[in-house]
Structure 1
Amino acid sequence: MSPIRLSDLAYTIDAVLEESFGGKAMWVVAETSDIKNYPDRQYCFMTLVEREGNQTVAKLEAAIWRKNYPIIRQFEAATQVAFARNIQLLMLVSVSYHAVYGMRLEVHQIDHAYTLGNLERERQAVLDSLVRDYSQFVWLDQGQYITSNQMLDRPSVCQRIALIGAPNSDGWRDFRQELANNPWGYRFMIDEYATQVQGAGADKAICAQLEQIAAGSVPYDVVVMVRGGGSQLDFGAFDTLRMGVAVASFPYPIVAGIGHDRNVSITDMMCHQSVKTPTKAAAFLLEHNRTFEETCLQLAFRVAESGRTALLEAREEVDQLTDRFRYGTQLYLRNRQVELTEKATTIRHLDPVNILKRGYAMLSQNGKIITRAAQFQPHLPVEAEMVDGVVRLKMNKV
C-alpha cells in the first residue's frame, strides 16, 4: 500500500466530518474540565469529559469563540454559579476540524435550566442526607429545616467572637470596622481564624477551623463566618454535606454573613442566624447587644419608677396615718378633758367646804367624823364644824 501524506489524511478526515456533522448542531451533556478562560480576548478553551464513577469514558476538546462568549456571563447570571471545572452542562455544540489543531467542539449555547435543575437536585440530595443520616442534628418541622445550632441559646451579650474568613478581605475588614465604629462604644474580643472561603477545598478548610474552635478552651459567645469582596458566584464551599453537618452540630451559635444577595446556601439554612453580608453580621450583633442594654435601661427605669411610686404611696399612707393619729389624739384628749372637767365639777360639789357653805355641819367626836346615830358616845362632847367655825355641843340624849 502506498503511503499518503498526513495532510491528505487530515483533509479526508475533514471531509468525512464535514459530510457527517457540517452545518449541524446537537445538544450534548458533558462535564467541564481544564478550563482556560481569556476574558480580555473573549474566548475560552476547555475539555469536556464523561465519567462513569472514577473512570473517564470520553473526552473532547471544546471552545467558546468571541461571537458566543457572552453565553458564559449569561450562564453565571442565570445560575449564580461560576463557570468553572467539574460542572455538568447541557450544551449546543457543533463539530469542527482543523488540519493543524485537530478536532474540536464549538459551544454555541448552554442550557441554564439543566444546570439549575442539577444544582437543585444536588442541593436537595445533601439536605435529604442531612435529615436522614444526621437526624440528631437536623430535622424537618412543617417544611422547615431545624438544627441543633439554631436551638442554642444565644448569650444575652455577645462579646467573645471567633471570626472565620479570608484574612484582609473586604468582608473581613467590613465586619471588624462595623464593630469597632459602633455608636454605643461596645467592645468585643475577636479571635481570628483565617482560611480560604471559596474554591476547591474551601469547605474542608473552614471545617478545620470550626474543629479548632470547638476543641479550644475559649467559651465563645458566637462564631461568625464572613465572605466578601469576591465573586458573588462561588458559593460551592457552603453547599456541601461536610459544611452542613459541621454547622448544624456546632456547639456555639454560628452567624453566617457570606456576602450573597439572592441565593440561600445550605450553611445559611443550618446556622443559628443567617444575614446577607459581613456588615450586616456585625450590625446583627450590635443590635442584639443594644436590645439587651435597652432592656436593662427599661428595667432600671421601671425599678426607679416603682421606687418613686412606692415612696409616694408610702408618704401618702404616712400622711393619712399621721392625720388619723392627730385627729384620734385630739379627740382622745378632748374627751379626757371633758371627763376631767366633769370630775373636777363633781369633786368641787363634793368638797366638804362647799357642802358646809350650803348649810350643812360636820359632826365629830374625839376627832372622828360621825355619820350614823349609832356612832355617838353620850359621855363625849360633840364638835359641829360649820362654814365659819366649830361649835362644841353637849349631847343630852341619843
Structure 2
Amino acid sequence: MDIYNHNQTEAPVALSLYELNSLVAEAISIGVPGQYWVEAEISEAREVRGHCYLELVEKDDRSNTPVARASAKCWQNRWSIIRPMFERVTGQRLHAGMKVMLRVYANFHEAYGFSWIVSDINPEYTLGDLARRRKEIVERLKADGVFDLQRELLLPMFAQRIAVVSSEGAAGFGDFCRQLHDNAGGYQFDVRLFPAVMQGEAVERSVVEALNAIYEVQEQYDCVVIIRGGGATSDLSGFDTLALAENVANFPLPIITGIGHDRDETVLDLVAFAHVKTPTAAAQLLVDHLSQTAALADRLCQRVVLAARRRMEMEQGRLRSLASRIPVLFSLVGEKETGRLDRLTARINSSLALTFSAQRQHLDRLAASVRDQTLRRITAEQHRLEMLERRVEAENPERLLKRGYSITTYKGRTVRDASQLPPDAEVETRVENGSFRSRVVK
C-alpha cells in the first residue's frame, strides 16, 4: 500500500497509529510464534501492583559492553506462582546483575509497544551462576591470602564489648540484645549498634561504612557481630560481594555473622571468624564463650586454693621446725652479729678518716686554683677597662672641637641635614671656646 501519492493529485492515504501497531502486532504473532528460553542478565527489576517489570541486557564477554537490550514483563497471575518457587530454590530475589534463564513469548500491544512476556523461570540456571560467582570470589580471596585471616584471630576470653552491625530498630537486633541480657549466668555485655542497610542493593556499601566506623574506635571493642534485623532469605545477595568479603577478611577484630538463613552459606559467612544462623544464636555464642571463660576461671581458682592450702601446710611445718631451733640459733647468731658489727664500725671509722683527709687535700687544691684564676681574671679585666677608656677618649666630642670642628644643635638635637630645618629656626653652634646662636634663613 502506498502511503503517499507523488503526483499530488489526491490526498495521501494514511493509517492510524492504532492500525499501524495492529499490523505490527499481527506480523509479530505470525513471525515469532511460540515460546523461547532465553539467557540474559537483569539490569533492572521492579514490582508494580503485583506485576514484575524487567529490563534485560546481554554484555560482551571481553568488554562488558551491552550488545542487546529488551524489556520483559510477568503478569501478576503468573508472577505470584513463579516468584515464591524461584526464591525458595535460589534463596535470592530477582535483582540487578543476576543472570537468569526465562521462558518468554513475544507481545506487541497497540498502546504500550513491544515486550517479552515471561511465563517461567529456570531457578537451576541462576543457582549455577550464583555458585560460579561465589566460587570466583572465594578463589580470589584465597589467591590474595586473606580468606583465612579472620580464623587466625582469637576471641578475647572476656569478650563483653560488642559492636553490632544491623538495621536500626529491627526485631533481630532486639532478639540479640534480649538474649545477651537474659543469660542464665548474669553476665554483663556492653553493646553498641552501628546501623546499616541489611537487604537490597545498598547492603555492601552500608555494611562497609559501618565497619569503617568501628575500625576508627576498634580499641573500644572485643569483637563485631553482623546480624540481619529480619527480612526474607531472598535478600542475601548483598552479602555475596568481593568488596564486603575483603573488608571482613582484613578486619582486625573477630567478626561473627548471624544473618538468618538456613540454606546456603554466603561468602561473608565463609570469611568470618564464626558464623551462626540467627541473631539469637550469635548472642548465645557470646554467652557460651563467656560461660566457658567463667568455668575456666573457677577451675583455675580451685587449683590456686588447693595449691595455697598445700603450701600453707608445708610452711606451717617448716615454721614449727624453725621455732624449735630458734633458742640455739639466736645465741649463735647474736655472737656472730656482734662481732660483725664491731668489724663494720672499725671499717667505717677508718674509711671516714681517709675520706676526710682526701677531701681536705681536694679543698686546698681548689682554693689555690680559685685564687690563681681570680688574679688572672682581674688582670684581664683591668686591661680591658684601659682599652675601653682609650676608645671613649677617642670618641670625646671635646677632641673634635679642639681640632677646629663645631657642633650645631636644634632643640637639643644634633643637626645632620640642613634641609630638615624649618625657616627662621634658631640653632646653637658650639666651638672649642664657647658657643653662639644663629637663625636659619631660606
Alpha-carbon distance, 1:220 to partner: 1.7
* TM-score, with length taken from structure 1: 0.71
| Correspondence 1:262 to 2:273 | no
| Correspondence 1:47 to 2:55 | yes
CA distance in 2, matches of 1:164, 1:217: 14
CA distance in 1, matches of 2:299, 2:219: 32
| CA displacement 1:291-339 (0-9 Å, x = unmatched) | 0111111222344455667778999x99xx9xxxxxxxxxxxxxxxxxx
| Correspondence 1:35 to 2:45 | yes
Q: Which amino acid aligns with 1:211?
A: N
CA distance in 1, matches of 2:142, 2:307: 51
Say if 1:93 and 1:217 are closer, same or farther in 2 by CA, change over 3 A: closer
| CA displacement 1:217-236 (0-9 Å, x = unmatched) | 63421111111311111112
Alpha-carbon distance, 1:5 to partner: 2.8
CA distance in 2, matches of 1:205, 1:6: 48
| CA displacement 1:9-63 (0-9 Å, x = unmatched) | 22221221111123x111111222443324xx64322222333456443332222
| Correspondence 1:25 to 2:35 | yes
Equivalent position of 1:12 in the other structure: 23
CA distance in 2, matches of 1:87, 1:158: 39
> Does the 8 Å contact 2:218/2:253 carry over to 1?
no
> Does the 8 Å contact 2:161/2:191 carry over to 1?
yes
- The match for 2:85 among 74, 77, 88 is 74
| CA displacement 1:122-154 (0-9 Å, x = unmatched) | 11111111122x22x23xxxxxxxx11111122
Q: Which amino acid aligns with 1:37?
A: E
Give 5+ residue unaligned stretches, structure 2: 5-12, 322-442
Say if 1:154 and 1:216 are closer, same or farther in 2 by CA, change over 3 A: same
CA distance in 2, matches of 1:171, 1:279: 8
Report the number of matched residues.
Answer: 305
Alpha-carbon distance, 1:215 to partner: 2.4
- The match for 1:59 among 69, 78, 89 is 69
CA distance in 2, matches of 1:44, 1:296: 59
CA distance in 2, matches of 1:224, 1:11: 59
* TM-score, with length taken from structure 2: 0.64
CA distance in 2, matches of 1:36, 1:211: 31
Say if 1:56 and 1:98 are closer, same or farther in 2 by CA, change over 3 A: same
CA distance in 1, matches of 2:19, 2:288: 76
Which structure is higher in strand share? 1
Q: Which amino acid aligns with 1:28?
A: V
Q: Which amino acid aligns with 1:105?
A: W
CA distance in 2, matches of 1:34, 1:149: 35
CA distance in 1, matches of 2:198, 2:115: 35
Alignment of 1:198-237 (within 5 A): 198-216=199-217, 218-237=219-238
CA distance in 2, matches of 1:162, 1:67: 45
Identity %: 30
> Does the 8 Å contact 1:228/1:277 carry over to 2?
no
| Correspondence 1:156 to 2:157 | yes
When Rg is computed on C-alpha atoms for both structures, the one with the higher figure is 1
Q: Which amino acid aligns with 2:83?
A: I
Equivalent position of 1:88 in the other structure: 99
| Correspondence 1:125 to 2:141 | no
Give 5+ residue unaligned stretches, structure 1: 139-146, 322-398
Alpha-carbon distance, 1:216 to partner: 2.1
For residue 212 of structure 2, give the secondary structure of its aligned residue in structure 1.
helix
> Does the 8 Å contact 1:93/1:106 carry over to 2?
yes
Alpha-carbon distance, 1:254 to partner: 0.8
> Does the 8 Å contact 2:198/2:229 carry over to 1?
no
